[in-house]
Structure 1
Amino acid sequence: MYMNNTASDLEQYLDELANNARPGDRLPPIRDLMRRFGVSQMLVQRAFQGLKTRGLIDSQVGRGTYFRGDGEPALANAGPRLQATRSVLLLRRSISITRGRVLVEGLQRRFTADGHRVLEVSYTDPAHARTVLKGSPRFDACVVQSTYKTITIDLLAALRDKCDVLAVDGATLAGTDVEAVGMEWGEPLAKAIALLRQQGHSRIAYAATSSPVLATQMGRRRFEYLQSNLADAELHEITVPHLPDDHYEAALADLVKASRDASGQLPFTALVAWGIEDGAKFRQLMSEAGIGIPSALSVVLLGRTDLANEHANFFDTVGCSVADQIESLYQAINARWADPSIPYGVRLIPVTSKAGQSIAAPPSTTRSTVSRVSATDSPT
């Protein structure tokens, strides 16, 4: 498994409490549960709402949230569980991006837990997807993953003909009758640069794909603003001519190495890197180049804080969680089912962060030099 099970552990813990609670027993504070299970406030509130829907808890002003007791749902509150069974299509690109697989599996668990029927279909290109859709039945909802690739107008039209609710995984569409859920990388980038500046770094590089993906374009716009307005900082841009599924780590490592001058010095002491799919591989490539992380170069990843394949239990990471992405897509579809007249729009998921061991104070030399890799820097 690439994503930890903290969300499901939380739900299991609350179920056990409900089964053993006496009438009037209060639930643990939300912040205590966030710290204990390492989840966001949104996920704790969603777990509480699940208990409330089942009639296991209630809340009153001045009394707080408390268990009804005996683990028995109140029939008067059980109405939402009697919802009609719906059909959901999960349409994903057949490429090796871990985030996409984890997200689809999470959505499948969420909808099947509600009693809905879920069909997962992978496709290689839009023409293949349209062929698959021709022989398929109609669905109550569809989630389509772009995963950095173009979603054609023809494919979107075919999906709208086949489903009542269409949701896109990614902040890619606005002003259309489609639910879009994703991340804009400007805020995480600003937070990552601020984190490095707190450690004394003033020469910082930002690396992202050269492909004009909307989410990263917003990040680049924020970078250009910071570049113009941080008078005491020297910000460098590294443009990677690859997407995360196409040898991205090796391309970025080569570009970092190529930025050294004749004496082996780097022009920056810290790096903010978007798009790292395999954190352990990137760390190894930098180690092989003699660039120790963090002794010679501090690194912050812009990525998913709950995917170990990205942060490798080593990199400081700022970005978002796949768990929040799953929850936001799930909520968007259910909200549309409940009220088809609500406005369409883009839902941006919360920014999260994960502390690691990839940041240190800048090297004491006037320029960051390639150093002998220490035991702390080495991934082995």
Structure 2
Amino acid sequence: MQSPEQELGRFLEALAGEARPGDRLPPIRELMRRFGASQVLVQRAFHDLKTRGLIESQVGRGTYFRGEGRATSPDETAHGAEPLPRAAATRSVLLLRRSISIARGRVLVEGLHRRFASEGHPVLEVSYTDSEHARTVLKALPSFDACVVQSTYRTLPIDLLAPLRDKCRVLAVDGAALVGADVEAVGTEWGEPLAQAVATLQRAGHRSIAYASTAQPFLATQLGRRRFQHLRESLADVTLHDISVPLMPDERYAETLVNQLKAMADAAGRLPISALVAWGIEDGAAFRSLLADAGITVPGALSVVLLGRTDLHNEHAGFFDVVGCSVADQVEMLYQAIQERWAEPSAPYGVRFTPVRRLSGASVVPPSRR
């Protein structure tokens, strides 16, 4: 019995052998239903056909067979059948990154650059300080087949999105910032990682747990706070404390969080919590040092789970337990979103959430060992 991937491959191979130049491939969703295949699997099969020179894509027209798998008959030639103009083998990509010192943003852009460049697509990286600076830079640039714009905890103004849509045929946003707009968005929904982190601490025996996150109301963290409220109401044997940090991770976030923890301690320096789930820590080693300077040892006085990226050493520092996502997943999902948009320009837009990942560390112990 053949796998869905094998059946799909044979089907597309047969179509390529019979196709005339310009014949369209079946829609991705139709192939998914017909063969019980995932979207990634179908896209991989399309990529294989394109690598072999059997298909080409045109923005606004979709993906077509080149028709070189079969000879054109004399009747077709007599009737003037001609292949559609060949699309360019490569597409131009703009990576627009906000110039702040966030390691995740730099790693993600570098990963996207490598991913697109490996396919032969020319890539231009541009960093900007604010939306006005970005608009000025865009005026001097040509049009692009795609752009990935990175907001990094900052609002994307409409007056920046508008010129980006004019300059770029496909626009993708790093982060779950936009919903219901004609852009591709890839980000993390922090509610599920929060629930997993709390469950991890529960299993270790913790019953008084704090959740620390930014007080700034953007979509991804608001979804996390919504899950926090649900957990607070539904977990009868756990007391959940809310710590709202009035800053963003690229500001003095970790230092402010540690000061808030110190303010919770009693006269003897004892905290009312035995565990902490913390979102937004960019430098795990510095955070651990700040806690130690405040007299809070991890995991001696406080068990900690970070909500962050499992594949960034600067966050977990080889020590912290982390639940969240991986930058590698975000790179691949942004890449796939753009590839699929190139293949099916009329497909619905939406937001894609990265899968939840977990990294075990040494920052969680049972309360009895404190």
With the length of structure 1 as denominator, give the TM-score of the two structures: 0.75
1: CA distance, partners of 2:353 / 2:121: 26
C-alpha contact (below 8 Å) 2:279/2:306 kept by paired residues: yes
What is the aligned residue count? 299
The correspondence for 2:197, drawn from 177, 192, 196, is 192
Deviations 1:9-52 (A, max 9, x none): xxxxxxxxxxxxxxxxxxxxxxxxxxxxxxxxx9x979987995
RMSD: 2.1
In the alignment, which residue of structure 2 is the partner of 1:318?
A: 323
1: CA distance, partners of 2:123 / 2:304: 40
Deviations 1:222-278 (A, max 9, x none): 001100111111000111111111111111111111110112110110000000000
In the alignment, which residue of structure 2 is the partner of 1:176?
A: 181
Question: Which structure 2 residues correspond to residues 1-380 of structure 1 after superposition, within 5 A?
Answer: 84-363=89-368
Question: Percent of counterpart pairs with the same letter?
Answer: 65
1: CA distance, partners of 2:342 / 2:43: 20
- List gaps (5 residues or longer) in structure 1: 1-41, 56-74, 77-81, 369-380
Q: Which amino acid aligns with 2:110?
A: E
Deviations 1:177-215 (A, max 9, x none): 000000010000000000000000010000001111210
Structure 1 residue 155: Cα displacement: 0.4
Q: Could you say what secondary structure the match of 1:290 adopts?
A: coil
Q: Which amino acid aligns with 1:322?
A: V
Query: For residues 253 and 111 of structure 1, do their structure 2 counterparts lie closer, same or farther at Cα, with a shift above 3 Å needed?
Result: same
1: CA distance, partners of 2:307 / 2:137: 35
C-alpha contact (below 8 Å) 1:169/1:181 kept by paired residues: yes
2: CA distance, partners of 1:354 / 1:361: 18
In the alignment, which residue of structure 1 is the partner of 2:80?
A: none
C-alpha contact (below 8 Å) 1:206/1:272 kept by paired residues: yes
2: CA distance, partners of 1:83 / 1:142: 17
Query: For residues 51 and 206 of structure 1, do their structure 2 counterparts lie closer, same or farther at Cα, with a shift above 3 Å needed?
Result: same
2: CA distance, partners of 1:47 / 1:207: 39
With the length of structure 2 as denominator, give the TM-score of the two structures: 0.77
Query: For residues 320 and 83 of structure 1, do their structure 2 counterparts lie closer, same or farther at Cα, with a shift above 3 Å needed?
Result: farther
- List gaps (5 residues or longer) in structure 2: 1-37, 53-67, 70-86
C-alpha contact (below 8 Å) 1:295/1:363 kept by paired residues: no
Structure 1 residue 363: Cα displacement: 3.9
Q: Could you say what secondary structure the match of 1:265 adopts?
A: coil
C-alpha contact (below 8 Å) 2:43/2:340 kept by paired residues: no
